[in-house]
Amino acid sequence: MSVQPSKSTSQGNADSPGGEEARFLAEVLRCEAEAIDHIANRITASTPEGEAVHWCQAVKLIADCTGHVVVSGMGKSGLIGAKISATFSSLGIPSHVVHPAEAVHGDLGRIRKDDVVLLLSYSGTTDEVLNLAAILKADGVSRIGISCNHDTHLAKLCDAHLALGDLEEAGPVGLAPTTSTTATLACGDALALAASKRLDFSEEDFHRHHPGGMLGAGLRHVSDVMRFRAGEELPVVLHDLTVEEALAVAWNESSDLRRAGAIILVDEQGLLSGIFTDGDLRRLVMNDREALAQPISNVMTKHPRSLLETDRVRDARQLVAEHRIDEIPVVDAEGHPVGLVDVQDLITMKIVQE
């Protein structure tokens, strides 16, 4: 599964699309992707001693853990372990990293009896990792190992072990940790996601652990971010009024308030029936000066696209992106208007771009 370099890579070829360097880059990526695919196929293989048994054992240890999932590895494996630990934490599974060499110089105090320790060493022979594994075994701390096969020294020191298989590192020398670290990272992600699934980790849970950034903003409910609320800053008008009458009602209701760029129309039951925007008004009066006398239901956008108040901000972003609309009514479960999401709100939050 190794990737060998091209014998000659000129600068011209490197800069030309489809040149030797481009093909080499693609081969490196395919090499790493094939390694992950190979591991996935071994998990689903229906053999008596299939890898699924080991994986399910590891997932159970993590899901049943009442302490922290502690991740430890040397060198590049340690760096990969830091990301794996961060993934566990973001999915509601408390986790931290302990350096295996530092562990025997005082950091063992960061590992407790109710923790599970994930030990990373592709060769399965890294002295610092093996020493830590032996100490943890003697102390009765649960251990999960990830190495190349089930016959490594690390595998024999662990309660559960995941075998990555006989991988060849990508690149011309085949020595720099590449394929093995990518495979380890993917396995860590799979473990974290499988454990969170077993624990019924939800979007709400994820938002509590990740309130910042685009991910956090996209998971907020639209009702939390809308500036215009029905009966407050947003006029809600019966759809059987004329355009002029509806505008008069809307103006009287919002004259002292910041105005939304739309009027929400409802039927006799108070259910959303349409929306009439400032843009609709401009187009209407430019085409027909007498148009204000007709029922607003004739010219409103009937049955507009809307959001439930429990929908997410990311759902609003998708509506704006797909349908190019600037105002989105927000309704309750029965269809009564509760507010309006304006595209400017999403721009302010940097959810969409101008």
pLDDT digit string, tens, across residues 289-302: 677 788 888 888 89
Give the single-character DSSP code of 110: G
For the stretch 51-77, pLDDT in tens is 899 999 999 999 999 999 999 999 999
The single-letter code of the amino acid at 5 is P
What are the structure tokens assigned to 118, written together? Answer: 């994930």
pTM summary value? 0.62
Say yes or no to pLDDT of 128 above 60: yes
Task: Identify the pLDDT of residue 282.
Answer: 81
Quick check: 223 pLDDT over 70? no
Neighbours of 273 (CB within 10 A): 22
pLDDT surpassing 80 at residue 228: no
Q: Is the pLDDT of residue 303 over 70?
A: yes
Partners of 312 in the beta sheet?
221
What is the C-alpha to C-alpha distance for residues 126 and 184, in angstroms, rounded to an integer? 15
Residue of 50 and 146 predicted with greater confidence? 146
Tell me the residue type at 300: M
Closest Cα to residue 61, out of 48, 50, 49, 70?
70
Report the distance separating Cα 74 and Cα 120, nearest Å: 8
pLDDT value of position 221:
64
Q: Which residue has the higher pLDDT, 146 or 46?
A: 146
Nearest CA-CA partner of 245 in 301, 304, 297? 297
- Distance in angstroms (rounded) separating the CA atoms of residues 108 and 293: 80
Identity (one letter) of the amino acid at 193? L
Asked if residues 171 and 24 have their Cβ atoms less than 8 Å apart, the reply is no
pLDDT range class, residue 252, cuts 50, 70, 90:
confident
Average pLDDT over residues 170-175: 75
Question: Per-residue confidence at 7, pLDDT binned at 50, 70, 90?
Answer: very low
Ranges of H-type helices in 91-167: 100-103, 127-139, 153-156
HSE of 162 in the Cβ direction (CA atoms, 13 Å)? 30
Tens digits of residue pLDDT in 151-167:
999 999 999 999 999 99
3 pLDDT higher than 60: no
**Per-residue confidence band for 261, with pLDDT thresholds at 50, 70 and 90:** confident
Residue 8 has pLDDT above 50, yes or no: no
Measure Cα distances from 316 to 89, 168, 203, 206, 320 in Å.
28, 46, 17, 19, 6
Q: Cα 69 to chain center, whole Å?
A: 21
Question: Could you give the angle at the alpha carbon of 192 between the alpha carbons of 190 and 195, nearest 5°?
Answer: 105
Distances (CA, A) of 286 to 86, 279, 280, 325: 58, 11, 10, 21
| Structure token digits, residue 269 | 């039951």
Q: Which amino acid is at 47?
A: T
Task: Give the model's pLDDT for residue 286.
Answer: 74
Longest dimension (CA), the chain: 89
Please choose, from the candidates 343, 39, 346, 55, the residue with its C-alpha nearest in 3D space to the C-alpha of residue 194: 55
Q: For residue 10, name the pLDDT band (cuts at 50, 70, 90).
A: very low
DSSP-assigned states of every residue in 198-261: HTT--HHHHHHH--SHHHHHHTSBHHHH-SEEBTTTB-EEETTSBHHHHHHHHHHHHTTSPPPS
Q: Are 83 and 92 in contact (CB under 8 A)?
A: no
Helix spans in the chain (H): 11-15, 20-44, 51-63, 75-90, 100-103, 127-139, 153-156, 179-198, 203-209, 213-218, 222-225, 243-254, 278-287, 313-323, 343-348
SS3 129: helix
Q: Do the beta carbons of residue 71 and residue 97 sit within 8 Å?
A: yes
Which domains occur in the chain, in start order?
11-201 (3.40.50.10490), 222-348 (3.10.580.10)
